[in-house]
Structure 1
Amino acid sequence: MLAGATTTTTLGSTLLLSLPFFSVSVFAHAGAHESARGLPGPGYWYQRDNHPVHDLFKRDSAGATDGVSYPAVGSDGWSNGWPTQWSNDSPTPRAEWVTALNAAVARKAIPTYAPSTVNEAGGIPTYASGLNPNDASVCSGTYGCAIPGDVWNAPDGHIGISFDDGPLPPTDPLLDFLDAQSGKPTVTHFFIGSNILEQPSQFTRAFTRGDDLAVHTWTHPMMTTKSNEDVVGEIGWTMELIHNSTGGRVPRFWRPPYGDTDTRVSAIAKEVFGLTTIVWNQDTADWSLTDSPPGTSLSAINSSYSGWLKGSKSPGLIVLEHELSNDSVDAFKAAWPEIVAEGWQISSLATLIGNGTVYLNAVDDTAAVNPVQDVVLAASVGLPKSSSAAPTQSGANLQAGGTGAGTAAAAGPSASAKPTAAGTSAAQSSFGAPSVTLFLAAFAAVLVAVL
């Protein structure tokens, strides 16, 4: 039972650029970014019918929530008890998540090679002697290698719109702009857990307008440098915070900061949490607009965007963009008229890749939420089905390499500056957050299909 809650009746070019980890952004509390995803089967996210998937959070049945009473977003009850924000160390995972991880390792679903290392002054991850980051056994996204099942490309003719690193103050002008457009288009936000705690109003606004919420880790680290347990903590706490702040919805997608993933990290996300990794095939480098000196300019971004939009519509576009600064938001606003004019089919990225279903247990921000018990054994798990599913292509066409591992066909993951985490709160170090257990020892969950 949820603590503190009561149940109611109801790619091409590789990322060999230097990674400036200590570049300072306008908003010091921002985190990093990432990308990736994988859809093993049409209409379902689960691995196999007998796959030990998950017991993610707590839910109820029909309605806009799971029937659990959570503290109001932004209240003391909501913000207390979570891991420390912007710690240099990844948050300690719940014991239940570690149990699920150990089970995945035992069934040989998680590669056993050591994490990568990186120079603190910047640079790219390096692996132990004998490990080739471009080999299918490792397949580092930083080196432009596309893991089968991870998503780098949109379907032909489509552009999936998303933003990394929020919620932050620039989220407001971004949403103001979207609200002023015809049809009030929705987008996907890859949110950082630490930023959600600091910007509850922007988080709530994005959710209530119908935008899709996805995971961008708790502290925005380079994930391939993290231990298995650290990877679980970074992902799990962010999922749980989103879950407790949206009426019980469990994110379906995540993006690794800097696009830094490999077969080990992607396997943990998928096997422990059922997450699909989404990366990108074009990069605006808008995160560097506020660097000193700037790493790019608005005119350079406009020129790049124009080239992508006027170019081939095969594959479709997944463009890396950020709600990190007013400048990065302005870059998107400047590109929007051309995005519309060039005839692309425009969608929120998660809605597009998810074929209309953006959460593991709910179609969207307003649909019924399927409850997930603390301990549930299930033979199979099915996604809620959207009645307005978007056209999609085969999973192979969504991968940058087409089939299997290989070099990304378009631009690979790009180096994104890690915003400095100033003013972090050491007070939130107790892990008794008002949350529900994600993945218990039985590591199985039932997500009743919404037909």
Structure 2
Amino acid sequence: MARAGSALLLLATFGAVAVSAGNWHHPRGHPVHDLFKRQNATGGFPAVGSAAWTAAYPSNINTTTVPAAWMTAYTNAKNAGLIPNLAPTTLVNGNPTYATGVDPMSATVCSSTDQCRINGTTTQIWDAPDGMIGVAFDDGPLPPSTILYPFLKQNNQPATHFFIGENIWQNPTIFQECLDDPLQDIAVHTWTHPYMTTKTDEELLLELGLTIQIIHDSTNGRVPKFWRPPYGDSDVRVVAIAYYVFHLTTVIWNQDSNDWQIGDTVDATGVYTDASVTANLTNWLNGPKSPGLLILEHELTNDTVNCFINTYPLHASNGWISKSIPDVFNQPWYQNSQNNTAPMVALDVAGTPPSAVPSPPAPAPTTTAAAVGVSASAGASGSSKSSSNNSKNGAGSIAAISTATLLGAALCSLMFW
């Protein structure tokens, strides 16, 4: 459920991992290099959607054992004091709730559901840089995504897609359609879309690790660099496991469109409509440019997609620079590749680790350039609601770590193969 209120700032710190600027990956002997290995000796992957591909992932995460390599990486981080001892929350009336006496705003908890920001060595993003929009969509791939992807492609608009692992597994053709547009980057939104603070450490490993694995296996070996907690629900424990085990940067948002609530009559504040969501988006796009915008939007239903499409012309008309989330921070999309087409870094036992992710080839000279964020005419609104409209949605309006902290922490990025 979305939470309103003024944004609050609280600093929470973790012990830092000592990594020099010239050696920004973990040593080759570190177990994280074994987390996402190639699936066979020839380096091939089963075709996305094939029987072999489908069989590689569990139909029930609750009966799945954490792979030994993931557990080893977790145990090492835990023993190093990098993962806090914090008990999971329980859901009370649909809200993650800590035990009596535990302050969710304290530095030892710092719950993003309660609008507490973590600052320090575990990176967490809340705002885009001034004048910029980090375009992103949660919960795909789903049938309504097939409206969104052609629109993004037509407008040469890069975006970040926080995909649910189970949705990739169940909708491989739609996933492939997204991947076929080289401007779309793929990020993690967990396997089953739970409130992450309610999960045990081992359950967190599976939610994150399985999603990374299916993305890795379906993109010829690319390892995601960014993730978003479902409902915006995280705390120091969740963020530490994401960062120190899988080296994922946590992305929240500073505006919640509430598009996921369109037609919802359960919320006490009333019914959200296409018009109310469009009004929110219009307000922000016509508003101040400091800080930049990270808006929570979804590829969940036809309505959520069309709310984005119908307000998209305001990106350009108001002078916003609209890019994917990694691009607004000048970061690689993946931990071992700049984007969907650039070379990938192989970290096998015999090779020497590079000091940086290789740059993509220089583009061929051209006489025209497509301007990012320039819109074609928006699509029609009022489409019927998709049958995929479920409760896999977001949380409330929250806010941001400094860009300097993010870029500094990026020097510690891991690369998997």
TM-score when normalising by structure 2: 0.76
What displacement does 1:350 show? 2.7
Equivalent residue letter for 1:57: F
Q: 13, 22, 32: which is aligned to 1:54?
A: 32
Say whether 1:84 aligns with 2:59: yes
Say whether 1:162 aligns with 2:133: no
What displacement does 1:372 show? 3.3
Q: For residue 221 of structure 1, give the secondary structure of its aligned residue in structure 2.
A: coil
What displacement does 1:96 show? 1.5
Q: 259, 262, 269: which is aligned to 2:242?
A: 269
Equivalent residue letter for 2:167: N
Q: 136, 148, 151: which is aligned to 1:174?
A: 148
What displacement does 1:349 show? 1.6
Say whether 1:370 aligns with 2:370: no
5 Å-filtered alignment, 1:126-205, equals 126-148=97-119, 149-181=123-155, 184-205=156-177
1:100 maps to what in 2? 73
Is the Cα–Cα contact under 8 Å of residues 134 and 323 in structure 2 kept in the other structure?
yes
Is the Cα–Cα contact under 8 Å of residues 46 and 381 in structure 1 kept in the other structure?
no
Q: Which moved more, 1:300-309 or 1:49-58?
A: 49-58
What percent of counterpart residues are identical?
Answer: 41
Q: For residue 125 of structure 1, give the secondary structure of its aligned residue in structure 2.
A: strand
1:222 maps to what in 2? 195
Equivalent residue letter for 1:136: A
What displacement does 1:13 show? 3.6
Equivalent residue letter for 2:308: F
Q: 1:213-253: CA deviations, max 9, x gaps?
A: 00000000000010000001100000000000000000000
Q: Which has the higher contact order (CA 8 A, sep 6+)?
A: 1
CA distance in 2, matches of 1:298, 1:277: 29
CA distance in 1, matches of 2:193, 2:356: 28
CA distance in 2, matches of 1:446, 1:377: 13
Equivalent residue letter for 1:143: D
What displacement does 1:295 show? 3.8
| Closer/same/farther in 2, CA of residues 43 and 329 from structure 1, 3 Å limit | farther
Say whether 1:251 aligns with 2:227: no
| Closer/same/farther in 2, CA of residues 214 and 43 from structure 1, 3 Å limit | farther
For structure 2, the 5+ residue unaligned runs are 8-17, 362-388, 394-412
Is the Cα–Cα contact under 8 Å of residues 53 and 274 in structure 1 kept in the other structure?
no
Q: For residue 126 of structure 2, give the secondary structure of its aligned residue in structure 1.
A: coil
Say whether 1:209 aligns with 2:181: yes
Q: For residue 161 of structure 2, give the secondary structure of its aligned residue in structure 1.
A: strand
Equivalent residue letter for 2:337: A
Q: Which moved more, 1:151-160 or 1:95-104?
A: 95-104
Q: 288, 295, 300: which is aligned to 1:319?
A: 295
Is the Cα–Cα contact under 8 Å of residues 178 and 185 in structure 1 kept in the other structure?
yes
What displacement does 1:208 show? 1.7
Is the Cα–Cα contact under 8 Å of residues 188 and 214 in structure 1 kept in the other structure?
yes
What displacement does 1:289 show? 1.5
For structure 1, the 5+ residue unaligned runs are 1-10, 17-39, 61-65, 389-415, 421-443
Q: 188, 202, 209: which is aligned to 1:236?
A: 209
CA distance in 2, matches of 1:45, 1:115: 35
5 Å-filtered alignment, 1:11-22, equals 13-14=4-5
Q: For residue 334 of structure 2, give the secondary structure of its aligned residue in structure 1.
A: coil
Q: For residue 190 of structure 1, give the secondary structure of its aligned residue in structure 2.
A: strand
TM-score when normalising by structure 1: 0.71
Q: For residue 109 of structure 1, give the secondary structure of its aligned residue in structure 2.
A: coil
Is the Cα–Cα contact under 8 Å of residues 161 and 347 in structure 1 kept in the other structure?
yes
Root-mean-square deviation (Å): 3.5
1:400 maps to what in 2? none
CA distance in 2, matches of 1:47, 1:111: 23
**Whose helix proportion is higher, 1 or 2?**
2
| Closer/same/farther in 2, CA of residues 321 and 265 from structure 1, 3 Å limit | same
Is the Cα–Cα contact under 8 Å of residues 298 and 331 in structure 1 kept in the other structure?
yes
Q: 1:178-209: CA deviations, max 9, x gaps?
A: 2222xx21211000110001110111111120
1:307 maps to what in 2? 283
| Closer/same/farther in 2, CA of residues 220 and 44 from structure 1, 3 Å limit | farther
Equivalent residue letter for 1:237: L
| Closer/same/farther in 2, CA of residues 139 and 445 from structure 1, 3 Å limit | closer
Say whether 1:361 aligns with 2:340: no
Is the Cα–Cα contact under 8 Å of residues 15 and 142 in structure 1 kept in the other structure?
no
